[in-house]
Chain A
Amino acid sequence: MSSLAVQKASSATGTQGTARRRPPLRGRIALVPTIALLLGAVYCLLPVAWVVIASTKSGSELFSTFTFLPGSGFTDNVHDLNAYRDGIYWRWMANSGLYAVLGALLSTAVSAFSGYALATYRFRGRESLFNVLLAGVLMPPIILAIPQYLLMAKADLTDSYWAVLLPQILSPYGVYLARIYAAAAVPSDVVEAGRMDGASEWRIFTRVALPMMVPGMVTVFLFQFVAIWNNFLLPYIMLSDDEKFPITLGLFTLLEQGANTPALYTLVITGAFLAVIPLVALFLVIQRFWSLDLLSGAVKS
């Protein structure tokens, strides 16, 4: 899913220059790249297909029938999932939605502010600040989870919604992307022109620069959304009350129920399948914003 975003983003920034290539030769398909892409697609889609098909199997069919033969238990599985502990699954889903939507929005806002500032203003320490951020990009968020927990504990914020939201608001990668994008998409001429016309810096940012940055910010939003939706370790360490769990954690508790209780495979698989749907829907809906950047150039040359 996120690889899609990268391709889209890179093609979005790179198209202007290379758009006028020779038209491809008709009637010839580049065989090797096509096969490679097809293999890649199969590699990505096979597990998804497995989840979709497995979610239709009832408990007794799951391990006994052919892997890719659809079963007859989908409605029962959804029904069981609904009934499990008074529908706590939907609560996890709502929690995931809250963490992902709010977290991604805040994170995108922070990224847009800082990326624009880093790209537009010249100030002492700008490069070193940016280098620190670059180092942050290289740091996997996983190793920060425990220090973040200890910090949150100091502030008495563990086991709260904030414990999961706050650490995800600052995304070094988001800031990095926003700076690169702002530098490319917001020409300094435009900012200068705004200043000449007497607009305040805030007005220039919100009215002039931000609309130009939208496609890049959509990418940042999607990245953060997917990262938060799929995040496991941070909420795992932070939360102990399962009413606040996101979907990843909830499904994990269904799987690890102790040795004397069978894992609820059908529930977990059905739950995993349903949890993918919002992500797919989000990508389908938001995809169109990416193509906007081709049309939204500000300075006509």
Chain B
Amino acid sequence: MPNTKRRRLFVRGAAATLAATLGATALAACGSSDEDSAESGPVSLTYWTWTPGMDKVVDLWNKGEGKKDQITVTVKKQASGDTLVTKILTAHKAGKAPDLVQAEYQALPTLVSNDALADIGKNVGDAKSKFADGVWQQTTLGTDAVYAVPQDIGPMMFYYRADLFEKYGLTVPTTWEQFAATARALKEKAPDTDLTTFSANDSGLFAGLAQQAGAKWWTTSGDKWNVGINDAATKKVADFWGGLVKEGAIDNQPMYTPAWNKALNTGKQIAWVSAVWAPGTLTTAAPDTKGKWAMAPLPQWSADENVTGSWGGSSTAVTTDSEHKDAAARFAAWLNTDGDALNALAKESGIYPASTSAQLSGAFTTPPDYFSNQADFYTTAAKIAKTTAPSAWGPNVNVAYTTFKDAFGAAAKDKSDFSAALDKMQADTVADMKKQGFEVSE
């Protein structure tokens, strides 16, 4: 394809150094917000979010900070997930996207490459200093621009049934090698019991595990994208889990099913690789085992490492359709950095804040109800959150995720080769990017 249309954004995003010289022209493409900085008079903003209780948090703004400046925000509650990204892009096509949207980190490149998100770098003040570098970097996509303010994060952790580990004489694994040994040891002692399962129905889990291993699925060099979904780090992760499934050391049934809930609730599965939000899930999935679980850092690939991946998390972004980008950006910054706002978010919505100062204050001084036995739950969580590896999202994460579900779902079911599934994920993702008109280096 000699005449491939280049997508403006990512070419710009790639060439951060080039942008120093060419930046002015490139950045102008993305609705600069200079012109409306001196606005006055009442401003009314709409905000699409799926966070429960967000209306109550926004009330704090409408009655306090926002009232002074006559900026009123209206929450329009949405369902989360990839479908919301499609909805935002459809609305954007008609020029009718709301002023503010909630977006998962991995959705940001898709939104930005469709020119749906505004650069709010000038309006968010010193917000950068409130977040860990690895988190902030996800909202800049490695450019000089800022496309969103981080809201919540999902650092990954290892959850296990403390009582059953003791009963079976198992120790908490600190490396993946020990993890495999633990799984095998458990199989010997209790053949009906599994340490955990490999589930392909939430791609975020695998992406997080690959991220921990140092994978960089999407990177850019010059004008081109490199897709490294089947890079060495991810292969290592895929082969590790594929091997465990094949030898029968762990289960291969998907999670979030009634059967999975039952397995957790009855002690048929005694551990879960998950993220900081797991207490909420466990509360509904395994209500009878409350107080019997404990949390530990994720096992590492080598004993001297200390990194984790992230699974989930979202940010607040301002759309290019907004007529009041300044006001919207100020609200986004307030929502995710102001102490009162973050306290309310934790209380009303149960989110785990991206802001580092909020991770140890307010609601996070006591452990979650389900983990009342582990007093230092949130202190440990905050320490783990600091070790989050940087992530590298690209413009078609949804395609990679869908292929993952299909290919790995089938591979887990048949106990077949995981690296073949990984190669398929790579091939499909690259093919889709080329089809969309991105330049991809081979």
Contacts and interface: CB of A to CB of B under 8 A. Distances in A.
Nearest to B95: A153
Contact of B312 (A240, A253, A259): A259
Contact of A259 (B79, B154, B258, B283): B154
B288 A63 contact: no
Interface centre among A153, A158, A249, A260, by most chain B C-beta atoms within 10 angstroms, is: A260
B63 interface: no
Nearest to B281: A262
Interface in B227-284: 258, 261-262, 265-266, 275-277, 280-281, 283-284
A257 B283 contact: no
A95 to B, nearest CB: 14
Q: Size range of the interface on B?
A: 35 or more
Contacts of B351: 260
Contacts of A64: 261-262, 265-266, 287-288
Interface in A208-267: 236-237, 240-242, 249, 252-253, 255-263, 265
Interface string A271-290: 00000000000000000000
Contact of B285 (A63, A241, A242, A256): A63
Contacts of B152: 260
B265 A260 contact: no
B76 A256 contact: no
B287 A60 contact: yes
A205 interface: no
A59 interface: yes
Given A149-B90, A237-B90, A260-B277, 17 more contacts: A63-B258, A63-B285, A149-B94, A153-B95, A242-B76, A255-B79, A256-B79, A257-B52, A258-B52, A258-B80, A259-B275, A259-B277, A260-B154, A260-B312, A260-B351, A262-B280, A262-B284
Contacts of B50: 253, 256-258
- List 6 tightest A-B contacts by C-beta distance, closest first: A153-B94, A260-B277, A256-B79, A63-B261, A259-B312, A262-B284
B204 interface: yes
A146 interface: yes
A257 B265 CA distance: 22
Contacts of B122: none
Contacts of B312: 258-260
B201 interface: no
Contacts of B314: 258
B178 interface: no
B349 interface: yes
Contacts of A255: 79
B383 interface: no
B288 A240 contact: no
Given A236-B83, A240-B78, A253-B79, A260 B280 contact: yes
Nearest to A266: B284
Interface string B273-306: 0011100110111011000000000000000000
Contacts of B6: none
Nearest to A239: B76
30 contacts: A63-B285, A64-B261, A146-B90, A149-B94, A150-B93, A153-B91, A153-B94, A153-B96, A158-B94, A158-B96, A236-B83, A237-B87, A240-B46, A240-B48, A253-B78, A255-B79, A258-B80, A258-B312, A259-B275, A259-B312, A260-B152, A260-B276, A260-B280, A260-B312, A260-B352, A261-B52, A261-B277, A262-B284, A262-B285, A265-B284
B77 to A, nearest CB: 5
Q: Size range of the interface on A?
A: 20 to 34
Nearest to A150: B94
A193 to B, nearest CB: 53
A133 B381 CA distance: 61
Interface string B74-90: 00111111010001001
Contacts, number: 97
Interface centre among B80, B98, B311, B351, by most chain A C-beta atoms within 10 angstroms, is: B80
Nearest to B152: A260
Nearest to B93: A150
Contacts of A262: 280-281, 283-285
B51 interface: yes
Nearest to A154: B94
Interface centre among A63, A158, A255, by most chain B C-beta atoms within 10 angstroms, is: A63
A265 B257 CA distance: 12
Contacts of B311: 259
B142 interface: no
Given A257-B50, A259-B154, A260-B350, A60 B90 contact: no
A242 B94 contact: no
Contacts of A153: 91, 94-96
Contacts of B95: 153
A256 B81 contact: yes
A224 B261 CA distance: 39
Contacts of A261: 51-52, 277, 280, 349-350
A59 B281 CA distance: 12
B75 to A, nearest CB: 9
B287 A59 contact: yes
A150 B95 CA distance: 9
